[in-house]
Chains A and B, each alone.
Chain A
Amino acid sequence: MCRIGAIKSKNKLHPSIALKLMRSQQEGHDDSGFAFVMQDLGGIFESYKDLPLLSMAATVEGTRLAEDILRESGFSRVMQWTPNINNEKGLKIDAMPNYIFEVLQYPKSYKHATEEEKEELLINTSIELRNALEKTNSGYIYSFWPDTLTLKEIGSPKDIGTYFDLWNENKDLASGIITAQCRQNTNYDIVRYAAHPFFLEGYTVLVNGENTFYEKNKYYQQKLYKGYLGFESDSQCLLYTLHYVHKILKWPLQYFKHTITPLEYDDIIKRDNREILLRIKASLSHLEVNGPNTMLAVTPDKELLCVCDSKKLRPVVVGRNKDMVIMTSEVAGLNDLMPDRDFRQDIYPTERETIVVKKDLTVERWQQ
């Protein structure tokens, strides 16, 4: 079972906190990997929030290929950060030759472009990069979006932390939101793209569980939007559904829960908005999930989200203090990082709840 966590904090935090959150849930480790996504960046990226940040891992050839594509598209490098690699002997990590984290300036022709036009450029370039790297088997692109940094690697979470010097807390890397997992989707091949958190256009999703509706979701999603790619993990489907409902359809967030775990007909007809709910249930029936899934997510508004399957088959707990909210698989993680919190305030979400952590860290509980 995957262990997942999402942290949102008033103060910018170093990603070592994610390693620590995962460490106390280590019975879930199987050395299949560690990955995190940082959003609302601080540290050395603080002053580049509006510019796209590329996170990728590649061979030398892949790095060159990506640089060529970016240059041809008109992007220019503004700054680059390279992790301090600590290549000790005996570390359990399947490392790539290069890890690239670089901030890029939009092409000059985009000087007066709208946000939508810039977003379109970023998704198109991401797809182009991904296809080129995939064709030559020379690397992986994880995110290419403003204010977002992604690292994924295969191996032992502790050793991955050591390799990238992530145990060493410093001020370079910091963010207000960190999502992380310490075990990737091991039902299928251990590949980097199968490791959550999954990211698309400002949306980040992590899932603990088995999406038994994977094939059904996938068959539907692959025709919905060009960015719905890969499907290396069944959990990606939940990212795409969140993106589709919230970004493409522009429906309020509460309808995400109605899409993935629709109420039963007999419950719906008692509601005032039954007409709407029945339409969603019919039109998006192929986006339902009906297995065991707990999902954590980040929205482009920098809000955190937590929803469970309709039978609440996988665990999750939400803990908070005045500076921080943590959602994670096991309470052991909370006890480690927030020993002094008022545990009576902890929330164990029900099967019909959506937990939302607003920008100001207030926690809302929406009933489906």
Chain B
Amino acid sequence: MAAVKVNELRKSDLPWIIEYDESKCIQCGKCTAACSFNAIMPCVEERKSNSITAPRKTEKVLVIKQNISLDNYCRGCGMCSNVCPNGAIKAVRNKDDKYSVVYRAEKADSFKKGGRSNLNTEGRTLDKIKIGRISQMTDPSLDAQRHTFELRTPLGRVLKADKLNFGHNGEALYETTPLPPNRWIYPIIFGDMSIGAVSWRMWEAMAIATAYLNEVMGIPLRMCTGEGGIPTKLLKSRYVKYMILQIASGHFGWNRIIKAMPDMTEDPAGILIKIGQGAKPGDGGLLQASKVARYVQEIRGVPKADLLSPPTHQGLYSIEESVQKMFLSMNAAFNFRVPVAIKVAASVTSVSVYNNLLRDPYNIVGGFFLDGLAAGTGAAHEISLNHTGHPITSKLRDCYLAAVHQGRQGEIPLFAGGGLGQTGSFAADAFKLICLGANGVFTGSTLLEVAGCVGSDTGKCNACNTGFCPAGIAAQDDRLVKRLDVDKVAQNLVNYILATDIELKKLMAPIGCSSLPVGRSDALITVDKHISDRLDIQYGC
């Protein structure tokens, strides 16, 4: 019996197997050049002739072989088959994959990846909800093409009417006290993906799309910078008014922001304090050294090293403290002219946090961003991604109903995100969450898909953490980044929002609603009794 080494990594352990047809290959080398993971390589194979009678002869042939490596392994991105002129090569999913076990056994480290949870055990609540209240005879449906619709929502602390302290002279009301800043924005926010987590081209495309949507298309969409700073030139430009600046526990990029403040000509759209995120709740940001490119170092003011944001904001031990210290200081930084909001991972505790913020006597929390467990990320420990967090739908609803219970709905606008558009219906997901009580939604992963992300939620690619994103979206290697056409991505993002805008109106029209249906849960039904009970919406069967 032959000796076999069983304790080494085997091809059959890997998640993807390369199928290569030598007879079709013209040895052009495109596949190996395209593979950003070095998962395939040209090799020379020795072959013997098939004849039994002829003298034994061997020949050497050039072939493409799969790398059997823990670091340089195939992620199934499909770039090789995309570039192959003859269809000679492709990656095939290995259903007996043992990679993550071997990785842990070899590296004594937790396995990290990008993208979203791959478990998908929960099923999607939003897909089991339908817009069931259709205006028929009692009230007319509207015409999505001909009627006008208003898709705007406030970002910023909204006071109850009796706290506005309006004076009046018999006819007209006037303000008697300064009130918290409000911005009326489009109910979709480009979610917080930092420069570093995504490539500069991807980030620039989102910024261009945001400016174009505002200035040319009249859609007041806002983009959140993510925790990683923002180019100084943009900070000092008028376009900063479309940007929500993020500050998270690493404070990356804030040195530049503070230095630029004296020269800023416009206020930003808002400040978003990130406490947590849905993809890895309870964990901080994670930018691996391989992605800390030179310009990322400059914007963030950091050396080339793994950049780990702490799981908590150091020095904050309670909600009261965070309101007093962090929110007050961020409000004060912009002279109380800019709404300051908070982003947390959806959690069993979300309602407690929301209640506390609602009751904050300073009225300075201008938005509550809830991020569900189906959210995506540039990098996370797989264990967090797959096993921590809370679905967005019920938690968003809980927060809204907690406010209803106190008669305080709308005072701190709710924004929901995390897995929206996962099954291809971003507008429907957004609409349903708005009916359940959200003032708006935010998304990151959808934008990546629009930009050409090749990954999936079933283990395809998910290599955003490596810096070798084959689509140039989450890459920091210049050669890979250049694969991304900034203008094309910006154009596609604009188009996607225009399409979403049409689709949102196609859902508003049948319920006869020309303004944003925040809290119009009467418009929804569900085909699942448990969801009906949990969300307090009608059951339909």
User: Which A residues are in CB contact (< 8 Å) with B138?
Assistant: 187, 210
Query: In the complex, what residue of chain A is closest to B138 when comparing beta carbons?
Result: A210
CA distance A222 to B407 in the complex (A): 8
Q: Which residues in window 184-227 of B have CB below 8 A to A?
A: 184
User: Which A residues are in CB contact (< 8 Å) with B162?
Assistant: 248-249
A252 with B171, Cβ < 8 A, contacts A219-B409, A223-B406, A286-B519 known? yes
User: Which A residues are in CB contact (< 8 Å) with B175?
Assistant: 275-276, 279
Query: Is B293 located at the chain interface by the 8 A CB criterion?
Result: no
Per-residue B-contact encoding for A146-159, CB less than 8 Å = 1, 0 else: 00000000000000
Q: A276 is contacted by which of B160, B171, B174, B519 (Cβ under 8 Å)? A: B174
Q: A220 is contacted by which of B135, B148, B158, B409 (Cβ under 8 Å)? A: B409
User: Which B residues are in CB contact (< 8 Å) with A244?
Assistant: 161
Q: Which residues in window 208-252 of A have CB below 8 A to B?
A: 209-210, 212-216, 219-220, 222-224, 244, 248-252
User: Which A residues are in CB contact (< 8 Å) with B174?
Assistant: 276
| Contact assessment for B158 and A252 in the assembled complex, using a CB-CB cutoff below 8 Å | no
A282 with B182, Cβ < 8 A, contacts A212-B511, A249-B162 known? yes
User: Which A residues are in CB contact (< 8 Å) with B48?
Assistant: none
User: Which A residues are in CB contact (< 8 Å) with B407?
Assistant: 220, 222-224
Query: In the complex, what residue of chain A is closest to B148 when comparing beta carbons?
Result: A264
User: Which B residues are in CB contact (< 8 Å) with A262?
Assistant: 515
Per-residue A-contact encoding for B501-524, CB less than 8 Å = 1, 0 else: 000000000011111001111100
Per-residue A-contact encoding for B129-153, CB less than 8 Å = 1, 0 else: 0000001001110100001101010
Query: In the complex, what residue of chain B is closest to A211 when comparing beta carbons?
Result: B139
CA distance A276 to B161 in the complex (A): 11
| Contact assessment for B410 and A282 in the assembled complex, using a CB-CB cutoff below 8 Å | yes
Q: B171 is contacted by which of A215, A250, A254, A283 (Cβ under 8 Å)? A: A254
CA distance A215 to B158 in the complex (A): 21
CA distance A283 to B410 in the complex (A): 7
Query: In the complex, what residue of chain A is closest to B160 when comparing beta carbons?
Result: A283
| Contact assessment for A279 and B519 in the assembled complex, using a CB-CB cutoff below 8 Å | no
User: Which A residues are in CB contact (< 8 Å) with B521?
Assistant: 215
User: Which B residues are in CB contact (< 8 Å) with A275?
Assistant: 175
Interface residues on B, range: 35 or more
CA distance A249 to B163 in the complex (A): 10
CA distance A310 to B409 in the complex (A): 23
Per-residue A-contact encoding for B215-248, CB less than 8 Å = 1, 0 else: 0000000000000000000000000000000000
Query: Is B308 located at the chain interface by the 8 A CB criterion?
Result: no
Query: In the complex, what residue of chain B is closest to A284 when comparing beta carbons?
Result: B161
Query: Is B179 located at the chain interface by the 8 A CB criterion?
Result: yes
Q: Which residues in window 350-400 of B have CB below 8 A to A?
A: none
CA distance A294 to B161 in the complex (A): 24
CA distance A252 to B172 in the complex (A): 7
| Contact assessment for A212 and B513 in the assembled complex, using a CB-CB cutoff below 8 Å | yes
User: Which B residues are in CB contact (< 8 Å) with A311?
Assistant: 142, 147, 514
A212 with B515, Cβ < 8 A, contacts A273-B173, A283-B161, A284-B161 known? no
Q: B168 is contacted by which of A212, A251, A279, A284 (Cβ under 8 Å)? A: A251
Distance in Å from the Cβ of B216 to the closest Cβ of chain A? 16
User: Which B residues are in CB contact (< 8 Å) with A212?
Assistant: 135, 139, 511-513, 520
Q: A219 is contacted by which of B152, B159, B161, B519 (Cβ under 8 Å)? A: B519
Query: In the complex, what residue of chain A is closest to B406 when comparing beta carbons?
Result: A223
Q: A290 is contacted by which of B164, B171, B512 (Cβ under 8 Å)? A: B512
Query: Is B166 located at the chain interface by the 8 A CB criterion?
Result: yes
CA distance A249 to B168 in the complex (A): 11
Q: A273 is contacted by which of B164, B172, B409 (Cβ under 8 Å)? A: B172
CA distance A222 to B404 in the complex (A): 10
Query: Is A255 located at the chain interface by the 8 A CB criterion?
Result: yes
CA distance A332 to B467 in the complex (A): 76
Query: Is B424 located at the chain interface by the 8 A CB criterion?
Result: no
Query: Is B262 located at the chain interface by the 8 A CB criterion?
Result: no
Query: Is A190 located at the chain interface by the 8 A CB criterion?
Result: no
Distance in Å from the Cβ of B437 to the closest Cβ of chain A? 10
Q: Which residues in window 31-75 of B have CB below 8 A to A?
A: none
Distance in Å from the Cβ of A238 to the closest Cβ of chain B? 15
Query: Is A291 located at the chain interface by the 8 A CB criterion?
Result: yes
Distance in Å from the Cβ of A209 to the closest Cβ of chain B? 7
Q: Which residues in window 391-442 of B have CB below 8 A to A?
A: 404, 406-407, 409-410
Query: Is A348 located at the chain interface by the 8 A CB criterion?
Result: no
| Contact assessment for A282 and B139 in the assembled complex, using a CB-CB cutoff below 8 Å | no
| Contact assessment for B173 and A252 in the assembled complex, using a CB-CB cutoff below 8 Å | yes
User: Which A residues are in CB contact (< 8 Å) with B78?
Assistant: none
CA distance A249 to B154 in the complex (A): 22
CA distance A212 to B509 in the complex (A): 13
Interface centre among A209, A222, A285 (most CB of B within 10 A): A285
Q: Which residues in window 49-107 of A have CB below 8 A to B?
A: none
User: Which B residues are in CB contact (< 8 Å) with A283?
Assistant: 158-161, 164, 410
User: Which A residues are in CB contact (< 8 Å) with B406?
Assistant: 223
User: Which A residues are in CB contact (< 8 Å) with B152?
Assistant: 265
Q: Which residues in window 305-362 of A have CB below 8 A to B?
A: 310-311, 313
Distance in Å from the Cβ of A282 to the closest Cβ of chain B? 4
User: Which A residues are in CB contact (< 8 Å) with B515?
Assistant: 262, 288, 290
Query: Is B170 located at the chain interface by the 8 A CB criterion?
Result: yes
| Contact assessment for B518 and A285 in the assembled complex, using a CB-CB cutoff below 8 Å | yes
| Contact assessment for A313 and B139 in the assembled complex, using a CB-CB cutoff below 8 Å | yes
Query: In the complex, what residue of chain B is closest to A291 when comparing beta carbons?
Result: B139
| Contact assessment for B139 and A279 in the assembled complex, using a CB-CB cutoff below 8 Å | no
Q: A282 is contacted by which of B140, B158, B172, B519 (Cβ under 8 Å)? A: B158
Distance in Å from the Cβ of B368 to the closest Cβ of chain A? 15
Query: Is A278 located at the chain interface by the 8 A CB criterion?
Result: yes
Query: In the complex, what residue of chain A is closest to B175 when comparing beta carbons?
Result: A275
| Contact assessment for A255 and B513 in the assembled complex, using a CB-CB cutoff below 8 Å | no
CA distance A265 to B154 in the complex (A): 11
A216 with B520, Cβ < 8 A, contacts A223-B406, A279-B179 known? yes
Query: In the complex, what residue of chain B is closest to A259 when comparing beta carbons?
Result: B161
| Contact assessment for B166 and A276 in the assembled complex, using a CB-CB cutoff below 8 Å | yes
User: Which A residues are in CB contact (< 8 Å) with B511?
Assistant: 212
Query: In the complex, what residue of chain B is closest to A244 when comparing beta carbons?
Result: B161
User: Which B residues are in CB contact (< 8 Å) with A286?
Assistant: 409-410, 519
Query: Is A292 located at the chain interface by the 8 A CB criterion?
Result: yes
Query: In the complex, what residue of chain B is closest to A292 when comparing beta carbons?
Result: B139
CA distance A213 to B520 in the complex (A): 7
Distance in Å from the Cβ of B516 to the closest Cβ of chain A? 9
CA distance A349 to B276 in the complex (A): 52
Query: Is A280 located at the chain interface by the 8 A CB criterion?
Result: yes
User: Which B residues are in CB contact (< 8 Å) with A224?
Assistant: 407
| Contact assessment for A210 and B139 in the assembled complex, using a CB-CB cutoff below 8 Å | yes
Distance in Å from the Cβ of A269 to the closest Cβ of chain B? 9
CA distance A212 to B136 in the complex (A): 12
User: Which A residues are in CB contact (< 8 Å) with B172?
Assistant: 252, 273, 276
CA distance A224 to B152 in the complex (A): 25
Query: In the complex, what residue of chain A is closest to B182 when comparing beta carbons?
Result: A282
Query: In the complex, what residue of chain A is closest to B185 when comparing beta carbons?
Result: A265
CA distance A51 to B514 in the complex (A): 45
CA distance A285 to B154 in the complex (A): 10
5 closest A-B pairs by beta carbon, nearest first, are: A223-B407, A210-B139, A215-B522, A282-B154, A210-B138
A-B contact pairs, 26 of them (CB 8 A): A212-B512, A212-B520, A213-B520, A215-B519, A215-B522, A216-B519, A216-B520, A220-B404, A224-B407, A249-B161, A249-B162, A251-B166, A252-B168, A255-B173, A264-B148, A265-B150, A276-B174, A279-B164, A282-B158, A283-B410, A284-B161, A286-B409, A290-B512, A291-B135, A292-B512, A311-B514
Interface residues of B (CB under 8 A from A): 135, 138-140, 142, 147-148, 150, 152, 154, 158-162, 164, 166, 168, 170-175, 179, 182, 184, 404, 406-407, 409-410, 511-515, 518-522
13 further A-B contacts with Cβ under 8 Å, apart from A216-B518, A262-B515, A280-B161, are A219-B409, A220-B404, A220-B407, A222-B407, A223-B406, A249-B166, A264-B150, A276-B166, A276-B174, A279-B166, A282-B410, A290-B515, A313-B140
